[in-house]
Structures are given as C-alpha cells and as structure tokens.
Amino acid sequence: MSGLSEEGKKDVKKFTDWVNANSEEIPPEIVYPPKHDDHHGHGHEHKEIVIPHEETLREKMAKREHIDENFQEEWQNVMQKANDDPSSPERWYRLASSIGGALIVLVLLITVANLPRFGSPDAPAMNEVARRYLESGLQETGAVNSVAGMILDYRAFDTLGESVVLFTATVTVIFLLQQKERNHNKEDIEAVDGNYKGIRSLPAKVIVAITFPFIILYGIYIVLNGHLSPGGGFSGGAIIGAGLVLNHLVFGQEFSEKFINVNKCKKLMAGGLFVYIALKTYSILTGANGINSHIPLGKAGSIFSGGLIFPLNICVGVVVACTVFSLYSLFTDWSS
Amino acid sequence: MTTVEILLLLFLIACAISVFFIKNLLNAVIVFMSYSTIMAVLWLSIESPDLAITEAAVGCGVTTLLFILTLKKINALKEEGGEEDERTF
C-alpha cells in the first residue's frame, strides 16, 4: 500500500469503509447473472448459477465441526455412564445380551449332543431317498459323481433357485452402486474410474504370474469334470473367479481387462442363467411327462456323459465366476 | 477319530473363539480364514470332498477377499498413528 499515491490511499480507505459499513447487506448467496427488473422482456432465459457467499460457507463448516465434536462428547459421556453407573440401561443390555447368547449356545450344544451318531444306519437321513440316489443314481443320471447327479438332476430346480439368488444379489448390488455413481458430477467419476496399476511387490507378481494359469486351469477342470469327480459348477466357478480377482489385484486393471470386465460379466451371467433355464425346462417337460428325452446319457465315466449335467455345470460355473469377479470389481474404489 | 482330527478340532475352536477377542479387524479376518482352511480339511476327513473344495474356494478365498475389501472401503485398514500401506491396497 506504501506504493500508492495519497489519492489512491484515500480511495482504498473509502472502499474498505464502505465494505465495513455495508457488510450486513451483502446477500449470503450471489446469484449470477443478477436479477434485473423486468425491462428487457422475456427474450431469453439465463441459467442461474448460485455461488454461496464465503461467510455462509465458513459458518456451515464451523457448524458441522461443532456437531461432530458434540456428537463425540455425547457418545463418550454415554459410554462413561454405562461403565460407571450400575443401574444404567446400557449395562442391562449388555448383561441381557450375554445371557441370551449363552442360552442360544446351550440350546445348540444340547441339540448337537442328541443327534444320531455320524453314519449310523438308524439316522433319519438314511431313508429310502438316500438309498435310491446311491443305488440307481448312476443308471438314471449317468453321473459317476453322485453329488453332481443329485444337485443337477434330481434336485436341479434347487440349484436353479441358488443361481437365481446369486444373480439377483449381484444385479441388485450393481444397480445400487451404479445409481450412486450416476449422482456424482463428472470430476468424481473420473476419479472413481482411476486406472488401478497393480501392486508394486515383485515376489507377489512372480508368484501370481506362475500360479495364475494353473488356478484357472484347475477351476475349468473342476467345472468340466464335475459329473465324474468331486466339485462342480459352484466350486469350480468360485476358483475361476478368485483367480481372476487375484490377477486384477496384482497386475492391475489394464491387464485384467484383456480377460474380463464388468460388462462382459453381466452378459455372461445373464446368458449362463438363460441357458440353464432353457436346458432345465426341456428336461422337466420331457422327464415329468414321460416323453422320451433326446439327450443321451453317454457311457458312464467318459467326459461326455451324464446327459444335461455337463452343460448345466458349465452354466453354473460361468454364473458363479462372473458373480465373484463383478462383486469384487464393484467393491473396489481405487481412488481413495 | 484320529489324533490329527482332534488337533484340528481344537484349532478350530481356538480360531472361532479368538476371532471375538482380536481387536485388529484385519487380523480377525485372517484368523477367520484359517478357520475355513481347517474346516475344509475336516470336510475332507469325513469324506465330503465336494464340500471341502467349496469351503476352500468360498470360505478362504472369496469371503476373505470381500471382508478385506470392505475393511478397505470403510478405511479400517489404517493403523493408528501410522500411514496406510499403499502397496497392498
């Protein structure tokens, strides 16, 4: 200010005085463009931009900090009270919940103690249903692995329900999280979509580079061999999904997108479920009405056997693998 | 019941109880993961390999991963007074 002339200093003084005198009258929010009295007519409409006045912003921030402090103090007081005062309700809640938990554990333990011995022939699980599955399962379903024969032939409707539950859960999560993203403005979305470059640890990269193909191969083997050996669509799909997640985690988004991304996942999930429903509808229509099914059961023990179990396993595997991967992708937010 | 099975069952109970008493959430998740691993071996020992594979894939792999991601999401992986390890996540 020292560089100013006498005249300039006077002007600055005048201005600051004016601001001090009129600071009460400055509106809390500045509206641009300013509203004129209506002498221009209705030729065109301006879009209003509301800029909050700095003071109002500061007040809001101060209020918010105040609330946070108050809340923390309040909470600490409540906790302190609960610890000090023996008659406070918080103390009784704790006591009641401990007693309730102990009771539930007691009931469960008594139930377990009264169960029939594992594998005993008198157990209710060893009824004619289980005998039928074990004795004629191979003949009727063509699957060497009787578990696969059970869940994908006798009880395939159950498995359909499970797949639909997984599908619905994933679709709901996708819907909710995308809804949230849509409300951000553009800058936020660019931050959210930040390209994840992978982790920097060299040993992790080397180990995953070696094991990743084998994990995927093992998962595919379990899915395809589900009717012959332990495993099947669900466990194999989970292994493939976990392998894809590991790949994304270690090598980053760019490399992972070569294999799969969320959009492909959505299509694959819907496709897998659709194929499952179509195949099973055929089998229910023919089987339940005594119509001759045109799908051969094949020679027991070969890879193309078990009738519909083989393709159904693949469908379940695809749905589960995509579910696991898309849940992972939706939960990651690499910008934070 | 063999000695190994009894040992595994004891570990299982120890893991299940200690999850409640561990303050650090990340450690609790890791102990929970070891619970699933022991459970998978036990499924195998009572001749249900199907369940064992599923338990290993879902219990150890996917559940643990989702837990850790959730911890990351709610910023619970930060140690008190220390900085977050950026290499892992």
Nearest C-alpha neighbor of B51 from the set B62, B37, B40: B40
Digitized pLDDT (tens) for each residue of chain A, 336 residues in all: 455 667 777 777 777 776 666 555 555 555 555 555 555 544 455 555 556 566 666 776 676 666 666 777 777 777 777 677 766 676 788 889 999 999 999 999 999 998 888 777 778 777 888 888 888 888 777 788 888 888 888 888 888 888 888 888 888 887 777 655 555 444 444 444 556 777 778 888 899 999 999 999 999 999 998 888 888 888 899 999 999 988 888 888 788 888 888 888 889 999 999 999 998 888 888 876 666 777 777 777 777 877 788 888 899 999 999 988 888 887 765 543
Q: How far apart are the C-alpha atoms of B11 and A334, rounded to whole Å? A: 36
DSSP state of A50: E
Contact indicator for A314, A170 with CB cutoff of 8 Å? no
User: In three state form, how does the secondary structure of A83-142 look?
Assistant: HHCCCCHHHHHHHHHHHHHHHHHHHHHHHHHCCCCCCCCCCCCCCHHHHHHHHHHHHHHC
Q: Where are the domains of chain A?
A: 85-113, 146-331
For testing the chain B interface, which of A155, A177, A222, A235 should be mutated: the one with the most B CBs within 10 Å? A235
Residue B84 pLDDT exceeds 50: no
For testing the chain B interface, which of A331, A333, A335, A336 should be mutated: the one with the most B CBs within 10 Å? A331
Contact indicator for A65, A82 with CB cutoff of 8 Å? no
Residue B17 pLDDT exceeds 70: yes
Q: How far apart are the C-alpha atoms of B89 and B80, rounded to whole Å? A: 17
Which residues in chain B are closer than 8 Å to A235, comparing Cβ atoms?
50, 53-54, 57-58
pLDDT at position A67 is 65
Nearest C-alpha neighbor of B54 from the set B34, B68, B40: B40
Partner-chain contact B88 A199, CB within 8 Å: yes
Q: Which of A199, A231, A324 is facing B87, going by the closest CB pair?
A: A199
Contacts of B46-53 spanning 24+ positions with Cβ under 8 A:
B46/A118, B49/A230, B49/A231, B50/A145, B50/A147, B50/A230, B50/A231, B50/A232, B50/A235, B52/A230, B53/A222, B53/A230, B53/A231, B53/A235, B53/A239
Average pLDDT across chain B, whole number: 83
Query: pLDDT tens digit string along B26-40?
Result: 899 999 999 999 999
pLDDT at position A99 is 95
Which residues in chain B are closer than 8 Å to A328, comparing Cβ atoms?
65-66, 69
Question: B79: which 2 tokens?
Answer: 């140690």
Q: Where are the domains of chain B?
A: 8-73
pLDDT at position A131 is 82
Partner-chain contact A230 B46, CB within 8 Å: no
Residue A8 distance to chain B (closest CA, Å): 52
- pLDDT interval class at B43 (50, 70, 90): very high
Q: How far apart are the C-alpha atoms of A43 and A45, rounded to whole Å? A: 7
φ and ψ at A182, to 5 degrees?
Answer: -65, -25
Residue A84 distance to chain B (closest CA, Å): 23
pLDDT at position A271 is 93
pLDDT at position A39 is 52
pLDDT at position A307 is 78
> Kind of pairing, strands A49-52 and A29-32?
antiparallel
Residue B70 distance to chain A (closest CA, Å): 7
pLDDT at position A333 is 55
